[in-house]
């Protein structure tokens, strides 16, 4: 195999890795108190663009998820727990959380919160924030091309 082909394969692989910094599914869990309409949060990219969130009881940016109620006290007060996934590109994100009533995400002895990827937060007053990072995974095709380039480069001519 000549050097020109090896360089072409390596260049194509590098282009695929750089060009397909594909998004990653990131898990989230949102635990609300009884008055879920008080809650809001927004997920911002490092460039300041809002990419996901919750406002008025409606989630944006969710690619898959479930919603359920659980009872946490003898008073039969219900608390919403929402699980799902966001499809986010690699990078660092900032989350801004708010409770419009100002009592935090609490009801009786239950305190809700928000966890996205590696970050989490709980509103104890009227607002809170946290950051998290998403690490991208190269596309399988790009990894295959890198492997082929490595095999081609290690082969000796006789």
What pLDDT, on a 0 to 100 scale, did the predictor assign at position 11? 43
| Secondary structure class of 93 (helix, strand, coil) | strand
Say what the pLDDT of residue 76 is.
45
pLDDT at 21: 47
| Calpha distance 140→36 (Å, rounded) | 41
What's the pLDDT at 7?
37
pLDDT at 50: 96
**Which pLDDT belongs to residue 15?**
41
pLDDT at 81: 79
**Domain boundaries in the chain?**
1-20+140-158, 23-137
pLDDT given for residue 49 in this prediction: 96
Task: With a cut of 70, list the residues of the chain below it in pLDDT.
Answer: 1-22, 67-79, 137-158
Confidence (pLDDT) at 82:
82
How many other β-carbons are positioned within 10 Å of the β-carbon of residue 57?
Answer: 12
Task: Please tell me the predicted confidence (pLDDT) of residue 69.
Answer: 55
Instruction: With beta carbons less than 8 A apart as the criterion, state whether 66 and 84 touch.
Output: yes
In the three-class reduction of DSSP (H, G, I as helix; E, B as strand; rest coil), residue 153 is classed as helix
């Amino acid at each position: 195999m000549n050097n020109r082909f090896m360089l072409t394969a390596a260049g194509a692989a590098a282009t695929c890795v750089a060009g397909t910094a594909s998004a990653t599914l990131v898990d989230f869990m949102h635990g609300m108190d009884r008055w879920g309409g008080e809650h809001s949060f927004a997920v911002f990219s490092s460039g300041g663009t809002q990419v996901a969130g919750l406002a008025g009881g409606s989630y944006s940016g969710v690619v898959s998820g479930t919603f359920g109620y659980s009872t946490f006290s003898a008073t039969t007060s219900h608390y919403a727990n929402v699980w799902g996934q966001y499809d986010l590109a690699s990078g660092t994100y900032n989350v801004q959380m708010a409770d419009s009533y100002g009592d935090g995400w609490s009801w009786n002895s239950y305190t809700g919160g928000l966890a996205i990827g590696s970050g989490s937060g709980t509103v104890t007053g009227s607002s809170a924030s946290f950051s998290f990072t998403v690490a991208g995974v190269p596309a399988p095709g790009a990894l295959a091309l890198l492997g082929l380039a490595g095999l081609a480069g290690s082969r000796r001519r006789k």
